[in-house]
A and B are shown apart, each in its own frame.
Chain A
């Protein structure tokens, strides 16, 4: 399963991250740590030896050209790729010191939520969409569900727009509202990590800015990882940025370092628009 030990860890990366861990928890490692992750679709290797740390309550952006493996990598972090026939991941992904590559996948996905590229509300009412995760995970009594729904919608900055039509179909909302609904739905089960897979690529600039704003709000309680092909978006919201190319993580660092003084030539070429 794991290939730990086969290849030495790039220590420089770890040290760079260590500066930023909150002082309150000197011993604590990153919230989520991937080590030597390889990923295969059948015989095709889509990810090569990815190692990266995601510090708690920070936003980390993963950027790179189409097909570079950033979405595939994101989808190994909640093992949603397990559902693809012939897909296989090796290496270690550690959440709070616990390897998630084995063990209960449903509990993992409750703790590591996901928002997808296209809004995917269920064909149910707005209320039932938000309540869905709470209900299937048996997390609240009947009376409490209303509170959870309201709190989640408020966190996703959607409450004011939908509070009078909670029983209407979620399909009646606009695309941007639907995506905020999906974020609220993910927040309703109190995830510790939230994965966002190009959440704004189907949205207009106004809807995009609303979502970016709310992401900055929810990182207080949640560790965020966002895949984006929009470099300005990464620059606007992310504390850290990782650059993927051809299935490899080229480099990861504080966002302003990546955008101003990247260490690798490939990164600089991509950032400056020489390709991608």
Chain B
């Protein structure tokens, strides 16, 4: 619970709503505000005063527009679902509400999570609050911008190939992608069901851990979810950190090295992950195919518009690409081959974790480009080349601020073995301190 000595929770909510009203037109992070927020804050404050409030009492949360929040417009930042109102709460939202977290609004994003820059939103791109000429990263662009701009305490996003860690890195905040199966995906409008995970954004490591502990756990409505232990930070003994030999902007690498070189009591060793270079090539056939399959429900008959007639270019590219793969798949050339490559990458990480406790590298291989600047599809896809591997290996990874290159934030990525979020957070806490 927040220790608010001078400001009540209701006052804090009012102040954040005012900030959104004043600053959101410039950075376009929030698509919809919860009109009952003040009323709900008053109820939570009563519970706080009685000492009966939940673990998230005093915290405000903004949710990516692909996670169902009952009664809110869950548009996936697309014209396809422009007027779609969620009929139920996703499991993560039920858990947040049960612990008295306040949902403050719905965040902008890349359309149907198809993008790495935030620019594919049908409602205009969110802007990086550090420098509004730059992209904030994506696809959970509005969630990251909302936290970085101080609109809320925490935010939810989804991460299929880096969609939480990439914007967290560009906006200078903490972003966590949990192990596949740690958090229920029930109520998430999927991009690629075998890779998607819901995760957190926050200004610090403790808030990330608090929110992740609330939303984790097995859910009967998501058969891929698992029981898990409470995530805790502890003073670790000697930690062995693996640094892979991978390409990234040299200034970003220098920040990452400087940050970990300052930590006492760790051993740093070089490791090799040769197949990680094929991560992008492995990821997109999987995403195209699963996205094509997942979007067949958007036929305009029960809700929304037919997706092929109302979506933007990147969404259409993935649908048509997925359709082509599905038609040709009897050869096993695309999807099956990509699944095989995924298994190889997963094994490569398992082998690496026999030698080291954690792996550290830059979150994004380059600095963000200017909004509207023309870059090729290949360049756009390579933004996620360092974040995709953790999704393919189903392991947890998080981005913490490493510092700035000429005023632009860059993130350091910590990768841990599957379901060993506690070790990952313990090291993140050491870096933060």
A binds B: no
A residues bordering B, Cβ < 8 Å? none
